Amino acid sequence: MSTSSLKIEAIGPAIGALVSGLRLGDDITEGITDDQREALLAALLKHHVLFFENQPIEPAAQRDLAARFGALHIHPVYPQAPGVPEIIVLDTSHDNPPDNDNWHTDVTFLPEPAMGAILSARLLPPSGGDTLWASGIAAFAALSGRWQAMLAGLQAEHDFLKSFPAHRFARTPAERVSWEAARLKHPPLLHPVVRTHPVSGQQGLFVNEGFTTRIVELSASESDAVLRQLFAHAAKPEFTVRWRWKLGDLAFWDNRLTQHYATADYLPARRVMHRATILGDAPFYRPSN
């Protein structure tokens, strides 16, 4: 099957593209072709987050689609779709308020964080609940040369507990058991502050407010000041795209040099999203020449 019907339109200069002419949802039974897979990976490299409209997809099909791009992560604390542990269910409402209304890169508490993720809109509030993505490549490129040089080669600590604290994720005895296991399995670890994209070779900022606690080569007060500056800088509108969800939309992002933010403006209404998380490689920094 050819990819000639595939259309990719940028929806922002730094990040984001709308993809059409391709079925990904439940009405494809044979899955995507190798050519389509390659075309999507190339588009992802260029645009960092891809949006697909009107692609309703059941958990098993979403798992199979994501698995075409790599091994899948099973999240240690988030709830799972029945019978499909690779699909996270983010079901938020008045009784279970959202926790992803902060800028974050998914699962950077892992030594090999996700290369990407596929998110499906299952149930939406009457309005609100938009998600924003930001390009760490655009954010890094906009820094002065002296600031880039200062950051290059530094290491930052990423801590599972910063986004998954006991008071929120260990409230019942059953939650406490899985949270304890997750905490022991995921001690704080280090990643480069500036990451080289393993495929494109581009440099990008790789600290995020969700998990990054400190830059280890700096004093505590220096680290606080630098991280505060970087978190604010990375979220500048110039580096972002904002997606207003419609039922059945899918987003596929490159999680290696992006962050995202789920706007929590819809309570007490309910919102349900399903995520498949594709594992990646260990982040590294390689100086450009």
Q: Could you confirm whether 106 is annotated as catalytic?
A: yes
Catalytic residue among 47, 104, 122, 214: 104
Cβ 260 to Mn ion, closest distance in Å? 6
Asked if 203 contacts 194 with a C-beta cutoff of 8 angstroms, the reply is yes
Nearer to ligand OGA, 36 or 208 (CB): 208
Q: What is the residue whose two structure tokens read 């760490």? A: 136
Nearer to ligand OGA, 36 or 245 (CB): 245
Give the Cα separation of 41 and 246 in Å (integer).
24
Q: Which of 48, 183, 195, 260 binds ligand OGA (CB under 6 A)?
A: 260
Q: Is 99 in the site for ligand OGA (CB under 6 A)?
A: no
Judged by beta carbon distances under 5 to 8 A according to partner kind, the member of Mn ion, ligand OGA, none in contact with residue 214 is none
Cβ 237 to ligand OGA, closest distance in Å? 18
User: Among 112, 129, 116, which residue's Cα sits nearest to residue 256?
Assistant: 116
Give the Cα separation of 245 and 251 in Å (integer).
9
3-state helix, strand, coil in the chain (%, to 5): 25, 30, 45
Give the Cα separation of 100 and 131 in Å (integer).
10
Nearer to Mn ion, 203 or 208 (CB): 208
Q: Could you confirm whether 275 is annotated as catalytic?
A: yes
Within 64-93, the residues that bind ligand OGA by CB under 6 A are 90
Cβ 253 to Mn ion, closest distance in Å? 9
Q: What is the residue whose two structure tokens read 């390689």? A: 286
Q: Could you confirm whether 191 is annotated as catalytic?
A: no
Query: Using CB under 5 A as the criterion, which residues of the chain lie in contact with Mn ion when the complex forms?
Result: 106
From residue 67, give the alpha-carbon distance in Å to each of 31, 106, 116, 277, 278. Answer: 11, 17, 11, 9, 7
Give the Cα separation of 128 and 130 in Å (integer).
6
Catalytic residue among 183, 191, 197, 275: 275
The single-letter code of the amino acid at 137 is I
Q: Could you confirm whether 281 is annotated as catalytic?
A: no
Within 10-69, the residues that bind ligand OGA by CB under 6 A are none
Catalytic residue among 99, 106, 159, 249: 106
Chain residues that interact with ligand OGA, rule: CB under 6 A: 90, 100, 106, 117, 119, 131, 260, 262, 273, 275
- Residues tagged active-site: 104, 106, 260, 275
